[in-house]
Structure 1
Amino acid sequence: MEKLNSIIFYNIDKAIRSYRNYAQRQLKANGFNITIDQWLIIKAILENPGITQSEIGDLVFKDNASVTRIIDLMVKSGFIIRHSHPEDRRKSNLEVTESGIKIIKEVQTLIESNRQLALKGISRKVLEIMNAALLTISDNCLNSKK
């Protein structure tokens, strides 16, 4: 019987979870009052003006309830403003505040440092191969007819 640590998908998940936990600890240790999920959502809004909450969820791999909860917290923290949608009351337009933009800029150096540590000892060529393989896995699963 195969061992867990010989299953590539187990190792991918373990790597992602390890990195997220490390990155969150670093944010907290450096005095930043933001979570990894909040950072991802702010980045999604900044990079995709007019994005809906369900599109954000798809982009950051979160369900709608989680996205709503995170956005509610960020509105309270002053990182995001929620505007009523002019044509559909069920929807809202999200805008990143100056405070939200500021924290994204402040955190950027730490994020880059976290990535450097996580990727230490892995050559550019190996990273390119790994990235291509991960994209192929995603494509295979997303485009499967079954």
Structure 2
Amino acid sequence: MIIKSYDDAIGRGITQTSKNIFRRLSVHLKEYDITPEQWTVLKRLGENDGVTQKELSTTSEKDQATLTRILDILERKRLMERKPNQDDRRSFLIYITESGKQLSQELFPLIEKIFNEEILIGINEDEIAIFSRVLEKIKQNTV
């Protein structure tokens, strides 16, 4: 089956859903003084610490300018720090701080709960798996 109105059925649907999820997460993260964008970067740092900004840009799917802004904010909040890269004096390695690790560990269960109890309510695991596969195919087709 080919969908005739691609914009409404796919593009608009994905965009609106993404915005809705972002808003929902923003409400819950506000009390932690962190945005969903900042959380994404902090989470990636927690998974792979001591990376260059370029590597972090790739894993967090943020452009360099956006990532620099987010890193500046996270650094002011003392959630991450930059250290000189011994292999390349022109760059820095990005590390999550103990405060960043603590916040990340506190937020993981909250984010999981938000998805399970609010965002994915009424959607079974099979539907989520199919949806994820379709999104991945669309993503690969648009790279």
Which band: TM-score by shorter chain? Answer: 0.7 to 0.9
| Aligned partner letter, 2:84 | S
SS in 1 for 2:142: helix
Change in 2 beyond 3 A, CA 1:108/1:68: same
Deviation at 1:139? Answer: 1.7
Out of 2, 8, 11, which is 1:9 matched to?
Answer: 11
Pairing 1:15-34 to 2, within 5 Å after superposition: 15-28=17-30, 31-34=31-34
CA contact (8 A) 2:26 2:36 kept: yes
SS in 2 for 1:82: strand
| Aligned partner letter, 1:126 | E
Change in 2 beyond 3 A, CA 1:95/1:50: closer
CA contact (8 A) 2:82 2:95 kept: yes
Q: What are structure 1's unaligned runs of at least 5 residues?
A: none
Pairing 1:130-141 to 2, within 5 Å after superposition: 130-141=131-142
For 1:55 and 1:15, how far apart are their aligned partners in 2? 27
Alpha-carbon displacement from aligned partner over 1:29-86 (angstroms, at most 9, x marks no partner): xx21211111111111221234321222232232101111111111111101110111
Change in 2 beyond 3 A, CA 1:81/1:129: same
SS in 1 for 2:51: coil
Q: Is the counterpart of residue 129 in structure 1 residue 125 in structure 2?
A: no
> What's the RMSD between the two structures over aligned residues?
1.8
TM-score between both structures, scaled by the size of structure 1: 0.86
CA contact (8 A) 2:46 2:104 kept: no
SS in 2 for 1:122: coil
For 2:69 and 2:44, how far apart are their aligned partners in 1? 16
| Aligned partner letter, 2:21 | Y
Deviation at 1:2? Answer: 4.3
SS in 1 for 2:95: strand
Quick check: 12-21 or 83-92, which moved more?
83-92
TM-score between both structures, scaled by the size of structure 2: 0.88
| Aligned partner letter, 1:24 | S
Aligned length: 139
Q: Percent identity?
A: 29
